[in-house]
Structure 1
Amino acid sequence: MAKLSALICAHNEELRLHACLSALSFCDEIVVVADRCSDGTEGVARHYGAKVVSGIFPIEGPRKHAGIARCTGDWILELDADEGVTPEFAKEIRETIEAADAADWYQIPVDNYVGDQLVRHGWGGSFGTSSVARLFRRGHKSWKAERVHPGAKLEGRFGGRLTQPIKHMVDEDIADMFARLGRYTALRAQDLADSGKIKSVPDDAFRGVRRFFKCYVSRKGYKEGELGFLISLMAALYPILSNLRAREILRNRAKAGAEERPALAPAPVPLRRAEATQ
């Protein structure tokens, strides 16, 4: 029988973690990466028998790799603390990994909720997704060293998309959605400032318009009414705000560097001829 490890990365998720972990009895082990936690996250994880990796992981890629290093399963199932699964989901996962012709990695659909409203359409543009590559054989997925939504490399044979979704409580309300945009763009801005890959304002504006059209029209965000429009708008603002904030970071770094440099000694004032001969 294939051994399945569940991997959850959490930062101060004591209140949400109970619901997430209580549904993972179908997994053979649980690994929780407790990143800079100051609440009861670690206690909750240990209550459910999880292995706990405690530390400071400002970069998401190394955080994921630290968790993978503690997993011993043949397969890894990634979840976030604000996500939940059903018995039907558990059944499909076990059947998938125990099949004789199992592939190396699979996409899993996501049902995203804003409050108690299920929002199926319009997600994308680094502000949400309706499908994720979260089930894979150990050693077949790795991440880049980025702070938010790191790029991932998947190796081996793709097995397609499963049918049972992850339930994701993505935002509590509209205010929470705006707060998430602020968090995401702050982290993305740091990545851009570090890499120096900051685009021009006209280019950002063009990307924003393109993302809005893709989310609202191509991905049918219009079917979700006001929330669909707002999600598409957040996706459009993401690259613009990220790059503007990256420029601000670079200006602040330059200013701080200038203030730290020692002031040059003033040049000596030449004496007038009369003073020099006295």
Structure 2
Amino acid sequence: MRKLTIIIPTLNEAFHIEEVIKSASFADEILIIDSFSTDKTVEIAQKYKVKILKREFDGFSSQKNYAIERAAHDWIFILDADERIPQPLREEILNVLENGASNIVAYDVLCSHIFMNRRMEHSTFKNEWKMRLFDRKFCRHGNKLVHEDMIINGQKSRLKNHFDHYTYRSFDRFIAKKNHYARLQAEQYYKKNKKPTFFHFMVKPAFRFFNQYIFRGGFLDGFPGFASAYINSYGVMTRYIKLWLLHHKMN
């Protein structure tokens, strides 16, 4: 059977680190790539059989590629600290490693979001596939700072079972994550000399809210559906404000 390394990127994930390590315990290797956490993330992780790398964060893609190159095994599963692998997915991964088709080099996995203690079933949360299981000989992340893409040299398939993403820990933490993503996206646009306009400040945030909450059925997820749509629209607006600040040397 082909062996598996699960890579867990971390930055101040003391709240999640123990549970995510337990979730990944079936792997042949657990590799943590830490961006110099200032909480007890590393201290807690060291209690378990894991390999820990430390590297200054300069983008999600480069951070993950760094860890991928240093993994002990070719087959990789990327698992964020706020994610978990349920038993059905664990069994399916092991089956793929043992019996999977030799021509498939990567697998998309369905992400099931749990937000404000509710499993989200509509809007942008519905049918969100992410490429997480792959053979590193044929796959690499691109150079995006955020929402990283994957360059694949071969065929891919889909797994039947989902992984869980616990998107909400506290309101302040959730907003902080949105601000972090907004900054990275603004820097990405700035490097491409993209300049914000009235359309980016007013139309795009409004469209994000109505598209997610009304047109894609976010209202069916109750108040968490409303809160998610509202905060995501805020994230879009913040991205372009930060881009404007970069262009005016005010960031």
TM-score where L is the length of structure 2? 0.88
C-alpha distance in structure 2 between counterparts of 1:108 and 1:35, whole Å: 25
* Counterpart residue number, 2:120: 119
CA offset digits 1:86-143 (Å, max 9, x no partner):
222210111122224252111111221223222222226xxx9832111111133322
Q: Counterpart in 2 of 1:97? A: 97
Is 1:172 matched up with 2:173? no
CA shift, 1:77, in A, is: 0.6
2:129 paired residue number: 131
CA contact (8 A) 2:23 2:84 kept: yes
Q: Could you say what secondary structure the match of 1:107 adopts? A: strand
CA-CA distance at 1:2 after TM superposition: 0.6
Distance 1:221 1:9, change over 3 A: same
> Structure 2 CA distance, aligned partners of 1:174 and 1:121?
21
Structure index of larger Rg: 1
- Tell me if 1:250 matches 2:223: no
Q: How does 1:28-107 map to 2 (within 5 A)?
A: 28-102=28-102, 103-107=104-108
Deviates more, 1:169-178 or 1:87-96: 169-178
Which residue of 173, 190, 195 corresponds with 2:192? 195
Take 1:100 and 1:61, find their aligned partners in 2: how far apart are those partners?
A: 27
Q: How many Å apart are 1:192 and its aligned residue?
A: 2.1
After superposition, the Cα gap between the structure-2 partners of 1:228 and 1:13, relative to the gap in structure 1 and judged at 3 Å, is same
> Following the alignment from structure 1 to structure 2, what is the Cα–Cα distance between the partners of residues 45 and 129?
32
TM-score by length of 1: 0.80
Runs (5+) with no aligned partner, structure 1:
257-278
User: Does the aligned pair in 2 maintain the 1:61–1:144 contact within 8 Å?
Assistant: yes
Q: Does 2:156 align with 1:158? A: yes
Deviations 1:203-255 (Å, cap 9, x if unpaired)? 554433443344234532121122212322333343332112111122126xx
| Residues 1:146 and 2:144 are matched in the alignment | yes
Q: Residue 16 of structure 1 contacts residue 82 of structure 1 at CA under 8 Å; is this kept in 2? A: yes
Question: What residue ranges of structure 2 are gaps of 5+ in the alignment?
Answer: none
Aligned to 2:231: 234
Residue identity over aligned pairs, in percent, reads: 22
What number of residue pairs does the alignment pair up? 250
The answer to whether the 8 A contact 1:123-1:231 is kept is no
Give the Cα separation in 2 of the matches to 1:123 and 1:218. 10
Helix, strand or coil at the partner of 1:33: strand
Decide whether the 8 Å contact of 2:201 with 2:241 is kept in 1.
Answer: no
Match of 1:179, as an amino acid? A
- Is 2:200–2:240's contact at 8 Å kept on the other side of the alignment? no
Q: Secondary structure at the match of 2:114?
A: strand
